[in-house]
A and B are shown apart, each in its own frame.
Chain A
Amino acid sequence: NAGVTQTPKFRVLKTGQSMTLLCAQDMNHEYMYWYRQDPGMGLRLIHYSVGEGTTAKGEVPDGYNVSRLKKQNFLLGLESAAPSQTSVYFCASSSSTSGSLADTQYFGPGTRLTVL
Chain B
Amino acid sequence: QQPVQSPQAVILREGEDAVINCSSSKALYSVHWYRQKHGEAPVFLMILLKGGEQKGHDKISASFNEKKQQSSLYLTASQLSYSGTYFCGTEKYGSAGNMLTFGGGTRLMVKP
Residues of A bordering B, CB below 8 Å: 31, 33, 35, 40-45, 48-50, 54-59, 90, 96, 99-110
Q: Which of A31, A42, A56, A90 contacts B104 (CB 8 A)?
A: A42
User: Using Cβ atoms and an 8 Å threshold, which residues of chain A touch B103?
Assistant: 42
Per-position binary interface string of chain B over residues 25-65, scored 1 when its CB falls under 8 Å from any chain A CB and 0 otherwise: 00001101010000011111001010000010000000000
Residues of B bordering A, CB below 8 Å: 2, 29-30, 32, 34, 40-44, 47, 49, 55, 87, 89, 91, 94-105
Q: State whether A107 touches B41 (Cβ < 8 A).
A: yes
Q: State whether A59 touches B101 (Cβ < 8 A).
A: yes
- The CA-CA distance from A108 to B55 in the complex, in Å, is 21
User: Using Cβ atoms and an 8 Å threshold, which residues of chain A touch B105?
Assistant: 40-42
- The CA-CA distance from A6 to B96 in the complex, in Å, is 24
